Structure 1
Amino acid sequence: MKTALPLVFLLVLLSACSKDAPSTPPADIRSVRAEQAGLHGTHVSTRYSGEVRARYETDLAFRVTGRVQTRAVEAGTLVKAGQLIATLDPADYVLASSAAQAQRVAAEAEARLAQQDLQRYTALRAQNFISQAELDRRESVSQAAQARARQLRAEASRQGNQQAYTRLTAPYAGVVTATRVEAGQVVAAGQPVASLARTGEREVRIDVPENALDALRAARTLKVRLWSAPDATYLGRLREVSPMADATSRTFSARVSIANADAAVKLGMTATVEVDSESAPSLSVAQSALFRVDGQPQVWVVEQKSGKVAARSVQLGALAGARVAIVSGVAAGEWVVTAGVHKLAPGQQVRVLTPAQP
């Protein structure tokens, strides 16, 4: 019995050794998408919302103070050059003009009398009936009378202009966009009475952030679309950019002229200006390739020989749509993982699927 036990134990050991050894576990290979870093030019389209305005807009005002007697237009009225806009009560200006004319007539009469006296005294001096001093005095009186007449003629003309200023007329053909006074209201000189937009060129006023000014100025094309007719496209041209930012919004006001505006483009409509620009070719990758470690942007670079990934810190440039410029950290031609970046670890073996198109 004691001899049989060691024999059984030996048979069990031999049986265990005859079994196959366990196989090596398969390698963990992750499937990812990647792209080859290279120089890419980016097409960027930016849209700005604005309002259709007239190229020339004027606030009309009286040049004198008075009480509004009539207002001949309403907002939306089409007017011709010289057409009446409003009038002031002219009574006081008529009286002032009449008084100035009367003073002018009296001064001219005095000037004629002084000139006649001077001629008589000149003849008397030639006969040596008066002294030279008396003649000089008469010459001074005549000159003063002539100057007084010229002064009052100018004053009469000025008073006549003041009377004419009680009629406010349109300086050019256009449409009245707003009225600001009513009949019976007393207005001061220079106080806006109505706003007039000139017929003709139309443009869109937009607000542009300071970091987009260079792109706006360098844009190859500007397209204008109306919200009321989004299928219609108008060519635009940048006419002016304000030299100073708005104190509240910190944006710059810009005016884009509509080159082929038709009757559908009406004042006050909301319009969109589309700015198309092409950036210079630069090294860039898809934004989906980025991840951060301790706040530092990094990408996974695939080593072509080993098929393994390595984390690489990068310095970023400007964003352009779904791509971001790379200033340093990646060289042109290297393969960068663009999908599956959060499932990788340093040294991870990967299988690159069909490369994503940049």
Structure 2
Amino acid sequence: MTNSRWQKVALAAVVSAVITSMAGCGKAPVAEAPVRAVKTVVLSETGGSLDREFAADIHARKESRLGFRVGGKVSARNVELGQSVKEGQVLARLDPQDLQLGQEAARAGVVAAEANAAQAAADLKRFTELKAQGFISAAELERHAAMTKAAESALKQARAQAGVQGNQTAYAALTAPAAGVITAVDVEPGQVVAPGQPVFVLALNGPRDAVFAVPESQARSTRALVGKKNAVEVRAWGTDRWVRATIREMAAAADPVSRTFQVKADVGTDGFELGQTASVKVLAALNNREGVRVPLHAVAERGGKSVVWTLDPQTYTVQPQVVTTGDIVGDVVLVTKGLKPGQEIVVAGAHVLNPGQKVRRYQQPTQAGNKS
């Protein structure tokens, strides 16, 4: 047997052994898809609900813009921005020189009016005696009686004017009408101010509000929460503690520039500082009359079509549902066709899903200090 023939036989044996070895090996196990955690929402007859967060500022329930009741030159400012003040505390003073001169002039007017009134009363008494003796006519007596009444009225006027001038002199000191915190200062010593010009903003002690704005797309659902106890949650910036609050007030008209509605939520008096930044979580209803409004990130594209992932609560698997979308406002999209009440849709985590994939509902970790 030639060498070439032996080489062919050896090659055939090797090939046969390789084929036999491959036939004996089973297929490699296919790794199962991981069970993804997804956030879902169930669509009800009203379209379900969706948590939305908004940035807010903490304001006092009552704020007063304070100004002098008289004009003049500011001689002293006794408080600084952010300072706590007590009721009746002097905040600033005007130069009282001109006011004091006016008060002295008014007092001198009172003295003069008192002298005129006394003289008129004495004259009336004498002329009354003369009339009784027949030395003067009744008309002359009536003239002196009228002069006496005029003098008495002038005295009353002078006293009232002196009282007004005395009050104006007292107005040279601007005092706090109630206890609170100075949140704005717009005056310096030497500045000349007009009567009523705001120079301080005083945030009165007491209940505080979280003030935020909602877009027009959520105005109706937010307005339905006004007055409902614990309808929203508020968290101060830099903390993990959510506090339940009640929407106390909502603007009747949208802001002409931002086209948003201002909302005020009552947060009470504990845990929030004036001017502090906060987050407000609102449970917004999704309107199902004209369609369903869902988060923009709940809608994905598959095969050139818009889809929303629906969850089967029996098998905990998801399937893509083709939908027709409408207007987009902010991060919310209107789904006009493809969804119906009772369906549970994925609103977070849809970008990593496959048809038929098993999932589990996302559970938010419980944080110490949260209120149930």
Q: Distance in 1 between matches of 2:128 and 2:144?
A: 9
Q: 1:210 to 1:312 in 2, by over 3 A?
A: closer
- Could you say which structure has the greater relative contact order, defined with CA pairs below 8 angstroms and 6 or more residues apart? 1
Partner of 1:168: 174
Aligned counterpart, 2:137: 131
TM-score (norm. length: structure 1)? 0.69
Amino acid at match of 1:176: I
Helix, strand or coil: the match of 1:158?
helix
CA distance in 1, matches of 2:252, 2:43: 38
Q: Is the 8 A contact 1:292 1:298 kept in 2?
A: no
1:266 counterpart (265, 273, 280)? 273
Q: Does 1:243 align with 2:252?
A: yes
Displacement, 1:114? 0.8
Contact 1:291 1:298 in 2 (8 A): no
1:150 is aligned with what amino acid?
K
Paired residue for 1:147?
153
AA aligned opposite 1:169: T
Equivalent residue for 2:207? 201
Any idea what SS the aligned residue of 2:163 has?
helix
Say whether 1:111 aligns with 2:117: yes
Q: Residue type matched to 2:237 in 1?
A: W
The 5 A counterparts of 1:62-81 are 62-81=68-87
Cα offset for 1:98? Answer: 0.6
Contact 1:314–1:330 (Cα < 8 Å) also in 2: no
Q: Distance in 2 between matches of 1:131 and 1:239?
A: 76
What does 1:272-311 align with in structure 2 at a 5 Å threshold?
272-279=279-286, 287-288=299-300
Task: Summarize the Cα distance change of 1:88–1:317 in structure 2 as closer, same or farther, 3 Å threshold.
Answer: closer
- Partner of 1:96 in structure 2? 102
Which residue among 154, 165, 185 is the counterpart of 1:179?
A: 185
CA RMSD of aligned residues (A): 3.6
8 A Cα contact 2:223 2:250, kept in partner: no
Among residues 246, 256, 266, which one is paired with 1:257 in the alignment? 266
Equivalent residue, structure 1, for 2:64: 58
Report the Cα offset of residue 277 of structure 1. 3.3
Q: Distance in 1 between matches of 2:201 and 2:102?
A: 30
Q: Residue 227 in 1 paired to residue 237 in 2?
A: yes
Q: 1:249-278: per-residue Cα shift (whole Å, max 9, x none)?
A: 12222221113x42x411111111111134
**CA pair 180-105 structure 1, distance change in 2 beyond 3 A:** same
Distance 1:312 1:276 in 2: 26
Amino acid at match of 1:182: E
Separation of aligned partners in 2, 1:146 and 1:191: 38
Match of 2:7 in 1: none
Call closer, same or farther: CA 1:179–1:137 in 2, change over 3 Å.
same
CA distance in 1, matches of 2:164, 2:303: 78
Of stretches 192-201 and 280-289 in structure 1, the one that deviates more from structure 2 is: 280-289
* Preserved CA contact (<8 Å) 2:326 2:334: yes
Are residue 215 (structure 1) and residue 227 (structure 2) matched?
A: no
CA spacing shift, 1:113–1:331, aligned 2, 3 Å: closer
Q: Report the Cα offset of residue 71 of structure 1.
A: 1.0
- What SS class does the counterpart of residue 177 from structure 1 fall into? strand
Distance change in 2, residues 1:153/1:313 (3 Å): closer
Shift of the 73–356 alpha-carbon distance from structure 1 to 2, 3 Å rule, reads closer
Unaligned runs of 5+ in 2: 1-41, 309-320, 344-354, 362-372
Task: Return the alpha-carbon distance in structure 2 between the equivalents of residues 38 and 70 of structure 1.
Answer: 64
Give the TM-score taking structure 2 as reference length: 0.67
Secondary structure at 1:119 match in 2: helix
CA offset digits 1:302-326 (Å, max 9, x no partner): xxxxxxxxx999686999x999654
Deviations along 1:294-351, one digit per CA (max 9) or x if unpaired, are: xxx899xxxxxxxxxxx999686999x9996546x888999xxxxxxxxxxxxxxxxx
Contact 1:222–1:274 (CA under 8 A) maintained in structure 2: yes
Please identify the structure whose Cα radius of gyration is greater: 1
SS state of the match for residue 257, structure 2? coil
* Contact map agreement 1:51 1:269 (CA 8 A) in 2: yes
Contact 2:213 2:263 in 1 (8 A): yes
Instruction: Tell me how far apart the structure 2 counterparts of residues 353 and 313 of structure 1 sit (CA, whole Å).
Output: 18
Please give the secondary structure, in 1, of the residue aligned with 2:200: strand
**C-alpha displacement of 1:88:** 0.6
